[in-house]
Amino acid sequence: MTEIAAARAVVGPVRVRDATKPAPRQLVRFAFYKVDPAWRRLGQEVRLRQRQELAALLAEHNQRILLRTYTLVGTRGDSDLMIWAVSEEAEHLQALFSAINGTALAGYLNCSHSYLAMTKRSTYVDTEHPNQAATGDRLILAPGSRRFLFVYPFVKTRAWWALPDQDRQRMMQEHIRVGHEYPSVKINTTYSFGLDDQEFVVAFETDSAADFLDCVQALRDTEASAYTLRDVPSFTCVRASIPEALEALG
């Protein structure tokens, strides 16, 4: 039996929310790791044992929080692995990453990039599609199993925030309209004001890298794009089970 077959990622339990109570907001962390090349010079059995230790730990925490793993091997030079972790409690995220630090493999992992954000309702209204995600509560993330996840931090210019609300709504309506022209691309927007160095972290799920590329290029032509201060670095992440993502390390 292969390592992957022996340790498939466990899907966390489905929670039923009381519809009479406000939905809790979630903390979201995108943690990117680069493995030290020295780890690949260790013996095969040692590396296997260390991967299995970390895989078991991630699967255990996946029972308590929303956790997804992605590989960046072949798509990015400064990151090999991304852990997307979501919880309503900061303590649960701290427990996860503290436990990761206690594994043998962690001695060879460098956290090359890290972004912390939180869910909240959008301040912009999708007038053309009022029942779609632009006006949903967006407080609970529901990642799918699409092949790609494209992640980047995002900061608007000060001039954007100085605009009247109606001007920003008008420009965002155009932005939303263009986004709807690419239905295969699902956006997850989270907010970082005061929590981290960016204002937003956006994560796009899709099965087609070409659709995402075309969508981003089309959005460059919108008026709102002129008010973008920073939207890099950008990460192309490929969905992988916990064992698959770790096995890709080497």
Alpha helices in 136-164 (DSSP H): 158-162
Residue type, 249: L
Q: Per the structure block, which two tokens stand in for 53?
A: 């230790």
Which of 28, 114, 33, 100 lies closest to 72, judged by CA? Answer: 33
pLDDT at site 143: 86
Query: Tell me: the pLDDT tens digits for 63-122?
Result: 999 999 999 999 999 999 999 999 999 999 999 999 999 999 999 999 999 999 999 999
Domains in the chain (CATH in brackets) are: 3-8+24-118+238-247 (3.30.70.1030), 133-236 (3.30.70.1030)
CB count within 10 Å of CB 248 equals 18
- Please tell me the distance from the alpha carbon of residue 87 to that of residue 25, in angstroms, as a whole number: 9
- Please tell me the distance from the alpha carbon of residue 246 to that of residue 69, in angstroms, as a whole number: 9
Angle at CA 62, nearest 5°, toward 11 and 197? 120
Residues 6+ apart with CB under 8 A from 32: 72, 78, 79, 81, 82, 111, 112, 113, 114, 235
pLDDT by position in tens, the chain (length 250):
444 444 444 444 444 555 566 668 999 999 999 999 999 999 999 999 999 999 999 999 999 999 999 999 999 999 999 999 999 999 999 999 999 999 999 999 999 999 999 999 998 987 766 555 443 457 889 888 899 999 999 999 999 999 999 999 999 999 999 999 999 999 999 999 999 999 999 999 999 999 999 999 999 999 999 999 999 999 999 999 999 999 999 9
Strands (E), the chain: 27-35, 66-71, 81-87, 109-118, 148-156, 186-191, 200-206, 228-230, 235-239
Residues 6+ apart with CB under 8 A from 94: none
Specify the residue for token string 């263009």. 178
- Give the pTM: 0.88
Across the chain, mean pLDDT equals 90
